Amino acid sequence: MSIAHNIQHLQTLLPAHVRLVAVSKTKPVSDLMEAYTAGQRDFGENKIQEMVSKWEELPKDIQWHMIGHVQTNKVKYMAPFVYLIHGVDSLKLLKEINKQAAKNNRVINCLLQVHIAEEDTKFGMDKEELARALSPEVLSTLSNVKIKGLMGMATFTDNQSQIEKEFTFLKNLFDTYKNTHGLDTLSMGMSGDYELAIKTGSTMVRIGSSIFGHR
Ligand SMILES: *Cc1c(COP(=O)(O)O)cnc(C)c1O
């Protein structure tokens, strides 16, 4: 199946309130262009250098999502153009994003990544770190970042009830802060688990292999 077909097919399956981020990491710009021509405007990358070079080559109305782990010293390269940073997992990183956003006269959208998986290899904040990052004392010092919501990755397993439990945990945290903090984005769900993610309250899915094929 073609990339255009896969995008159109996915769009028929996704509810109107769920936004599709096409995860294009490792894929050539010709593949991204095919998705773009099919109407796709949100693209996700997990390496900053790769995102920068694709941004340079591709149409400027694309919204670039950084979905990978971000090293503090690389924030400056994407600060001029990144649309949403999904993997913000420390206060130190949030402060650096704020600093680089200010230098570029921008407010950068961020999602706080929460550790929901069983494996301890995955990045993310715990409940306490999240509460700290969302406290008035911290937020009042960060005028160039906008925290739009939360992001999480479930355990890589076939156990559906385990995945559901982890997504539900994240959805409950999201609801705790949603109204007080004006959050509107819950980024959860990939090719293998997006249906379950949507069922449990996702508003943004990050889908790669179901669109572009295996990496
Ligand atoms: C690669 C990646 C995805 C997409 O994974 P697929 O299984 O190809 O859909 C989603 N989220 C993150 C954080 C990723 O690194």
Quote the CA–CA distance of 106 and 99 in Å, as a whole number.
10
Segments making up each domain of the chain, as ranges: 3-212
Task: Give the model confidence (pLDDT) of 104-115 as tens digits.
Answer: 999 999 999 999
Q: Counting beta carbons within 10 angstroms of the beta carbon of residue 155, is it exposed (0 to 12), middle (13 to 18) or buried (19 or more)?
A: middle
Residues of the chain with pLDDT > 90, as a percent, come to 96
Choose which residue among 13, 51, 111, 190 to substitute to test ligand 1 binding: the one with the highest number of ligand atoms within 8 A of its C-beta: 190
* Domain 3-212 belongs in CATH node 3.40.30.10: no
Which amino acid residue places its CA nearest to atom 13 of ligand 1?
A: 67
* Mean pLDDT on 191-203: 97
pLDDT tens-digit series, residues 101-159: 999 999 999 999 999 998 776 689 999 999 999 999 999 999 999 999 999 999 999 99
Instruction: Calculate the average pLDDT of the chain.
Output: 96
- In ligand 1, which atom is closest to the CA atom of 46? 15
Is 67 touching ligand 1 by the criterion CB < 6 Å? yes
Q: Is the pTM of this model over 0.95?
A: yes
H helices present in 66-203, as ranges: 75-78, 91-103, 127-133, 136-139, 160-181, 194-199
39 and 3 in contact (C-beta within 8 Å)?
no
Distance of CA 158 from the midpoint of ligand 1 (Å): 16
> pLDDT digits over 58-109, tens only?
999 999 999 999 999 999 999 999 999 999 999 999 999 999 999 999 999 9
Handedness of CA 135, 46, 210, 34 (dihedral sign): positive
Give dist(CA 112, CA 4) in Å, integer.
31
